[in-house]
Amino acid sequence: MRINAKTKISELVRYNKDSIEAIASLSKPLRKLKNPVLRKVMASRVTLAEAAKIGKSSMEEFAVVLKPLGFIFEEKKTEAQQTKEIPPTWLDNLSKDKIDFFDVRSHIEEGNDPLKEIMQRFKKVKNGEALCIINSFIPTPLVRRLEKNNVLSYTEKIESEVFYTYFFKAEESKPLTEKQEGAHVIKNSKEDFENIFAQFDSSQIKTLDVRHLEMPMPMQTILKALPDLANNEVLYIHHKRIPIYLLEEIADRDFTVHLLQLDEDNVKMLIYHKK
């Protein structure tokens, strides 16, 4: 099979399942591909080039472990690939005062999902200006979501585990609609959470306790339950922690998610379809 930097991980897995072990051997961040649920989340979204960035590896290292499995790397790079790491003209011409810098690392470390605030801040960005997300990894799902609105993006690795991802709002960028924003995640006080919960009667509540399950079963169990959730029902979840990977997976779906963190190992969640 002929592959290049733009080949998706899922294509490699379909051709040869041994590619999972080969890629996972390159670095610790890439070992998550061995997890069936996380592989399902990542493989269809991530290209070899993106995986290399995540794993802090080179394409040459990928070639070493994949060539014995029957993969043939296209040595000749396209013009787009050759210039991929060169900052785009719009960024070179953009002064610092036209960029809104938003460091989300503390949000992630505290177990909070910064997506809502990111989208709110991007809405305030004027045409010809940009939002820069500072994070410890490349926010691939966010990049793909905004690119659907003709938003231009560019990611720059500043240092180990520090990435600046720029989102430029060109004049032709499409306005963001509520539907395109996807899941709406809200972290509640106990009183607000109980008030939301009280809006549903017992026949509409589907309870799920995943606290006793080992990873990756909590995420897998919740994802399996969501397709069966009726428009007037709510999924009431007992969890040990705020599930960041789950929130990322459903980020482009039309759900409202309410979170209540009672203590370090006790999180309650309500998930229902947007009204």
| Tally of structural domains, the chain | 3
Average pLDDT over residues 233-251: 86
pLDDT-derived band of residue 136, with 50, 70 and 90 as boundaries? Answer: confident
Q: Indicate yes or no: pTM above 0.85.
A: no
With the CA atoms of 140, 24, 103 and 88 taken in that order, what torsion angle do they form, in degrees rounded to the nearest 10? Answer: -50
Domain presence at residue 57: yes
Average pLDDT over residues 251-263: 88
| Claim to verify: residue 171 and residue 215 sit in the same structural domain | no
Could you tell me if 258 and 191 are in contact, meaning their C-beta atoms sit under 8 angstroms apart? no
Domain presence at residue 240: yes
Could you tell me if 271 and 234 are in contact, meaning their C-beta atoms sit under 8 angstroms apart? yes
- pLDDT for 200 beyond 90: yes
Contacts of 54 (CB under 8 A, 6+ apart): 29, 30, 46, 137, 138
- pLDDT for 191 beyond 80: yes
| Claim to verify: residue 11 and residue 45 sit in the same structural domain | yes
Domain presence at residue 243: yes
Domain presence at residue 202: yes
pLDDT in tens, 43-101: 777 888 888 877 778 888 888 889 889 898 876 544 334 334 567 888 888 899 999 99
What does the pLDDT read at residue 201?
95
Could you tell me if 258 and 193 are in contact, meaning their C-beta atoms sit under 8 angstroms apart? yes
| Claim to verify: residue 96 and residue 151 sit in the same structural domain | yes
pLDDT-derived band of residue 175, with 50, 70 and 90 as boundaries? Answer: low
| Claim to verify: residue 162 and residue 222 sit in the same structural domain | no
The CA–CA distances, whole Å, from 89 to 95, 158, 258 equal 12, 19, 41
| Claim to verify: residue 157 and residue 209 sit in the same structural domain | no
| Claim to verify: residue 122 and residue 193 sit in the same structural domain | no
CATH code of 57's domain: 1.10.3910.10
| Claim to verify: residue 210 and residue 170 sit in the same structural domain | no
Q: Where are the beta strands (DSSP E) in 93-228?
A: 99-103, 129-135, 152-159, 162-169, 184-187, 205-209
Note the Cα 151 to chain centre separation in Å.
17
CATH code of 228's domain: 3.30.110
Lowest pLDDT segment from 43-47, 216-220, 261-265: 43-47
- pLDDT for 26 beyond 70: yes
What does the pLDDT read at residue 41?
64
Domain presence at residue 84: no
Domain endpoint, select from 53, 78, 103: 78
| Claim to verify: residue 187 and residue 172 sit in the same structural domain | no
| Claim to verify: residue 161 and residue 202 sit in the same structural domain | no
DSSP 159-181: ETTEEEEEEEE-TTPPPPPHHHH
Domain endpoint, select from 178, 204, 237: 178
| Claim to verify: residue 96 and residue 118 sit in the same structural domain | yes
pLDDT-derived band of residue 183, with 50, 70 and 90 as boundaries? Answer: low
Domain endpoint, select from 151, 178, 205: 178
- Domain extent, residue 186, equals 182-273
Local structure of residue 47 (DSSP, 8 states)? B
Strand 266-273 with 255-263, pairing: antiparallel
> What does the alpha-carbon distance between residue 169 and residue 150 come to, in Å, rounded to a whole number?
8
What does the pLDDT read at residue 80?
39
Could you tell me if 245 and 41 are in contact, meaning their C-beta atoms sit under 8 angstroms apart? yes
Domain presence at residue 83: no
Written as six digits, the tokens of 143 are: 């990049």
Lowest pLDDT segment from 29-38, 174-183, 205-214: 174-183
- Token pair 């080969």 in the structure block, residue: 22
| Claim to verify: residue 186 and residue 268 sit in the same structural domain | yes
| Claim to verify: residue 106 and residue 63 sit in the same structural domain | no
- Token pair 């060169």 in the structure block, residue: 86
With the CA atoms of 140, 145, 148 and 150 taken in that order, what torsion angle do they form, in degrees rounded to the nearest 10? Answer: -80
